[in-house]
A and B are shown apart, each in its own frame.
Chain A
Amino acid sequence: MSNAPKIVHDRLRAAEPLGAHPGPDVLTAFVEQALSAGERDGVIGHLATCHECREIVALSTPAVATAPWLRADQERIVAAPARDAIERHPNWLTWPNLHWVAVAAGIVVVASILMLPNKKQPNMIGIVNEQAERPVAPPVAEKVPLEETAARAAPSTEVSAGTAKPDESRLRGQAVGGVVTPVPAGPPAPGKMQSLANLGEKKREDAIQAGNVELDKLAMKDAAPAVAASVGKEITAPSRELRNSETVEVSPAPPVVAQAQLDDQLQARNEPSTAAIEKAKAPARDFKSPAKTLVGAKVEARGASSNYGLSDNSLRSRDAQWKISEGSLERSFDSGSSWQTLLHPEHSLLCHATRGAEIWAGGQAGTLFRSLDGGMTWTTLHPSTNKQVLSSDITAIQMGKPGSVTLITPSGESWNTSDGGKTWEKK
């Protein structure tokens, strides 16, 4: 606080008292803010020049808490100058104003509670919006449970749907724009399912040329740490990259992976160094969710495309081993020493077939999954012809020429496709 010049002190001290001393009743009314504006100005003008009256006022001013004029039943504050109305202190602590403060606080609390669940899936929303706006995105967006989609006759082409039964079914799913991400659930084999936000082929190529592929986390219901795996140059923060996310990966993990690995993965996301990236890559292959979490990893192509068949996981998939175990599709990168569950749908898987980075898995009730990128993203297919929908179990999958697949059912039926699952023919 700046000091006034000393000459000001002297001149204030030298000032003669202005007018007669106000009586005790007027001073009392002044202290209690009960004077009219005109009277108040007169009293203040006198007080400014009268040391004795200032002393009386100071001594007769009680603490705020005991001020009788602040009592609700006695408060009668006469109108004060308008310029001081905003600054009036005693009023805002009185009940009428506190009432509104309490109401405002209640609204904030309620709004916070209502908004809390939404905060858990901000990335999902961002991706949904992004996918919806993307002209090259696949046209199909299914948000229905897997068992419903399985009964559908029309085969989905680029994008398929997963289940949306997070708690009841073993196959969890989250609809993300045109992608539904099925997620294996349950204590023994919690995992994550990856969903694919399809890119146009051109964008994929551009992305792989740029070499910037980012892996990020999808915040889903029980969000778990995300793993940043990159074959490119940098790893970016998830919030900044969501809008640009192109592909969502769900990578189920075996239950044996320790929490420490998750921490390492989390740390890797904050360390965009080469070492951190390499550190993040390895756990990404064995990523698991410790608490039935649904974790998606986003692979982002910047500026250019990526044929995901050449992406990191796809490259690794050449060395991967696959098996069906207890109705789940599992993958191993270490010659079978450890396995991670990739698919754990509601209906058990019975068979699988691989060809390079292309993996097909079939199971009960016509359950059929396909991945073109070594298991990073999966598409649910619903084989059907004009007359019939495949609803029986798929016991074998035979892969022939590129794009040609044959499904075998227990009754001996065979369902063939020569265009990667777009159209089917029953024999």
Chain B
Amino acid sequence: MPKPAQTGLGDQQVAALHERCQAEIYGVDRAQFANILREILEKYLPEASSEEAGEFCGGLRLEELALARACAAGNERAWQDFVGRYQQKLHAMALHITRDSVHASELADSLFADLYGMSTRDGIRHSKLVFYTGRGSLEGWLRTVMAQEFINRYRKQKRVVSLDEQTEDGAQFTAPDPEPVIVADPRLTAATDQALAELSSEDRYVLAAYYLDGRTLAEIARTLGLHESSISRRLDRVSTALRKRILACLRDRGMSRAQATEALETDVRDLQVDLRSRLTQESGAKAFPGGKVPAPGAGTDGSHV
């Protein structure tokens, strides 16, 4: 009968990792450290073998994990180290995100309070640092948390904007332009969904980040760890392939080549834009050149249409 795979870390592994990260100096003893690792393993690798768990935990930022958890537990030395390491960086991060010194200070102070655990629940101070698992750098985690906080704040503030502020911002409160009702051929929608589903998730991410979010090639490249030119080439390649694939899917759905091309290239918004520009050109031109009013139903050459 095969022996069931051992889950979790062995004591020796925990001891080695505990010694490696020097968690003892922040008052995190071996038992506490083992509990932290077990908690992380249960979250990410609940059924991992001992070897897998050891490999996974070996890849964690254990020293920063110990620091964060010690801070969350209220260790004074840990806080001193944390403040010394990250206080300046937090403000720099906030300034990078908000691009405004006032909002940056506000955001950084708010996050610092959350990290310290100003909020209490059931009389217990809760620090956000307890959610740090060491999978990335503590600095990166702080940046991500701050970005998340910024987006949440921005969303809240956007909901609560006074009419005065909107007026100051230049809002005219006129009736907004009606959103064009896009009535797309269901076959085109289905074909597009199919073609998009056949793309890799990374290609879809690149398309969405570039076309929907308006991210630059450099920003996307940094996110994916690729070179900017690679993103450019990929966008070009994916866009071309996507167009061909949609056309093929449309033809599979019974369209001729010309119909598929027309359905893909024609967009209701394009029609509206073209119509507007055409109307503008016609109204700008002389209404009745030559002083002659063409007879209704007659062409320019006088012939009936």
Task: Tell me which of B18-26, B127-135, B279-287 binds A.
Answer: B127-135
With a cutoff of 8 Å between Cβ atoms, the chain A residues found around residue B141 in the complex are 24-25, 28
Near B by CB (< 8 A), chain A positions 1-49 give 1-13, 15, 23-29, 31-35, 41, 44-45, 47-49
With a cutoff of 8 Å between Cβ atoms, the chain B residues found around residue A258 in the complex are none
Known: A5-B265, A56-B147. A78 touches B59 (CB 8 A): yes
Please determine whether B269 and A58 come into contact, CB atoms closer than 8 angstroms: no
Any chain B CB within 8 A of the CB of A52? yes
B224 vs chain A, min Cβ distance (A):
8
Bound Cα distance from A419 to B69, whole angstroms: 107
With a cutoff of 8 Å between Cβ atoms, the chain B residues found around residue A84 in the complex are 224-226
With a cutoff of 8 Å between Cβ atoms, the chain A residues found around residue B139 in the complex are 68
Bound Cα distance from A236 to B48, whole angstroms: 78
With a cutoff of 8 Å between Cβ atoms, the chain B residues found around residue A60 in the complex are 140, 143-144, 146-147
* Choice from A8, A28, A58, A63 contacting B213 with Cβ under 8 Å: A58
**Residue among B211, B224, B269 having the largest count of chain A Cβ atoms under 10 Å:** B224
Bound Cα distance from A184 to B235, whole angstroms: 68
Any chain A CB within 8 A of the CB of B148? yes
Q: What string of 1s and 0s marks CB contacts (under 8 Å) between A43-87 and chain B?
A: 011011101101111111111100111000010111010001001
Please determine whether B151 and A55 come into contact, CB atoms closer than 8 angstroms: yes
Any chain B CB within 8 A of the CB of A336? no
Bound Cα distance from A32 to B219, whole angstroms: 14
Please determine whether B222 and A7 come into contact, CB atoms closer than 8 angstroms: no
Bound Cα distance from A302 to B258, whole angstroms: 64
With a cutoff of 8 Å between Cβ atoms, the chain A residues found around residue B151 in the complex are 52, 55-56, 59
With a cutoff of 8 Å between Cβ atoms, the chain A residues found around residue B184 in the complex are 7, 10
Bound Cα distance from A48 to B204, whole angstroms: 5
Near A by CB (< 8 A), chain B positions 106-141 give 131-137, 139-141
Bound Cα distance from A393 to B143, whole angstroms: 95
Any chain A CB within 8 A of the CB of B255? no
With a cutoff of 8 Å between Cβ atoms, the chain A residues found around residue B189 in the complex are 7, 11
Any chain B CB within 8 A of the CB of A240? no
* Choice from A58, A76, A87 contacting B226 with Cβ under 8 Å: A87
With a cutoff of 8 Å between Cβ atoms, the chain A residues found around residue B228 in the complex are 89
Any chain A CB within 8 A of the CB of B230? yes
Please determine whether B243 and A5 come into contact, CB atoms closer than 8 angstroms: yes
Bound Cα distance from A67 to B188, whole angstroms: 42
Bound Cα distance from A12 to B196, whole angstroms: 8
Bound Cα distance from A61 to B222, whole angstroms: 7
A137 vs chain B, min Cβ distance (A):
56
Please determine whether A56 and B144 come into contact, CB atoms closer than 8 angstroms: yes
Known: A26-B135, A31-B144, A56-B144. A61 touches B219 (CB 8 A): yes
A160 vs chain B, min Cβ distance (A):
63
With a cutoff of 8 Å between Cβ atoms, the chain B residues found around residue A11 in the complex are 189, 192-193, 196
With a cutoff of 8 Å between Cβ atoms, the chain B residues found around residue A401 in the complex are none
Any chain B CB within 8 A of the CB of A90? yes
With a cutoff of 8 Å between Cβ atoms, the chain A residues found around residue B269 in the complex are 6
Known: A12-B208, A31-B136, A74-B137. A7 touches B192 (CB 8 A): yes
Please determine whether A32 and B140 come into contact, CB atoms closer than 8 angstroms: yes
Please determine whether A7 and B223 come into contact, CB atoms closer than 8 angstroms: no
Please determine whether B136 and A28 come into contact, CB atoms closer than 8 angstroms: yes
Bound Cα distance from A29 to B184, whole angstroms: 40
Please determine whether A48 and B201 come into contact, CB atoms closer than 8 angstroms: yes
B97 vs chain A, min Cβ distance (A):
5
Please determine whether A87 and B196 come into contact, CB atoms closer than 8 angstroms: no
Any chain A CB within 8 A of the CB of B303? no
* Choice from A7, A12, A25 contacting B267 with Cβ under 8 Å: A7
With a cutoff of 8 Å between Cβ atoms, the chain B residues found around residue A41 in the complex are 201-202
Any chain B CB within 8 A of the CB of A387? no
Any chain B CB within 8 A of the CB of A88? yes
With a cutoff of 8 Å between Cβ atoms, the chain B residues found around residue A88 in the complex are 225-226
Any chain A CB within 8 A of the CB of B248? no
Any chain A CB within 8 A of the CB of B236? yes
With a cutoff of 8 Å between Cβ atoms, the chain A residues found around residue B225 in the complex are 33, 77, 80, 84, 88-90
With a cutoff of 8 Å between Cβ atoms, the chain A residues found around residue B235 in the complex are 1
* Choice from A12, A34, A52 contacting B211 with Cβ under 8 Å: A12
Any chain A CB within 8 A of the CB of B36? no
With a cutoff of 8 Å between Cβ atoms, the chain A residues found around residue B230 in the complex are 87, 89
Bound Cα distance from A66 to B182, whole angstroms: 44
B282 vs chain A, min Cβ distance (A):
26
CB nearest to B135 among chain A residues: A29
Bound Cα distance from A3 to B213, whole angstroms: 15
Bound Cα distance from A27 to B230, whole angstroms: 22
Bound Cα distance from A59 to B93, whole angstroms: 9
With a cutoff of 8 Å between Cβ atoms, the chain B residues found around residue A89 in the complex are 221, 225-228, 230
With a cutoff of 8 Å between Cβ atoms, the chain A residues found around residue B96 in the complex are 62
Please determine whether A5 and B264 come into contact, CB atoms closer than 8 angstroms: yes
A10 vs chain B, min Cβ distance (A):
7
With a cutoff of 8 Å between Cβ atoms, the chain B residues found around residue A25 in the complex are 131-136, 141, 144
Known: A6-B269, A24-B141, A58-B219. A51 touches B213 (CB 8 A): yes
Please determine whether A4 and B242 come into contact, CB atoms closer than 8 angstroms: yes
Bound Cα distance from A25 to B145, whole angstroms: 9
**Residue among A49, A58, A84 having the largest count of chain B Cβ atoms under 10 Å:** A58
Bound Cα distance from A251 to B223, whole angstroms: 70
Near A by CB (< 8 A), chain B positions 278-297 give none
Bound Cα distance from A84 to B141, whole angstroms: 25
* Choice from B144, B208, B221, B238 contacting A54 with Cβ under 8 Å: B208
Any chain A CB within 8 A of the CB of B50? no
B52 vs chain A, min Cβ distance (A):
11
Please determine whether A10 and B226 come into contact, CB atoms closer than 8 angstroms: no
CB nearest to A57 among chain B residues: B223
B223 vs chain A, min Cβ distance (A):
5
Bound Cα distance from A35 to B44, whole angstroms: 11
Known: A59-B150, A62-B96. A2 touches B239 (CB 8 A): yes
CB nearest to B231 among chain A residues: A87
Please determine whether B207 and A8 come into contact, CB atoms closer than 8 angstroms: yes
Bound Cα distance from A44 to B289, whole angstroms: 60
- Supply 14 A–B pairs (Cβ within 8 Å), ascending by A: A4-B242, A6-B267, A12-B208, A12-B212, A24-B148, A25-B134, A31-B136, A31-B140, A34-B135, A41-B202, A48-B204, A48-B207, A59-B150, A84-B225
Q: Which 7 A-B pairs have the closest CB atoms?
A: A28-B136, A59-B147, A48-B204, A45-B201, A89-B227, A29-B135, A60-B144
* Seed contacts A24-B131, A28-B141, A31-B144; 14 additional CB < 8 Å A-B pairs: A2-B243, A7-B246, A8-B192, A11-B193, A12-B196, A12-B211, A48-B208, A61-B219, A62-B96, A69-B137, A76-B59, A77-B225, A80-B225, A84-B225
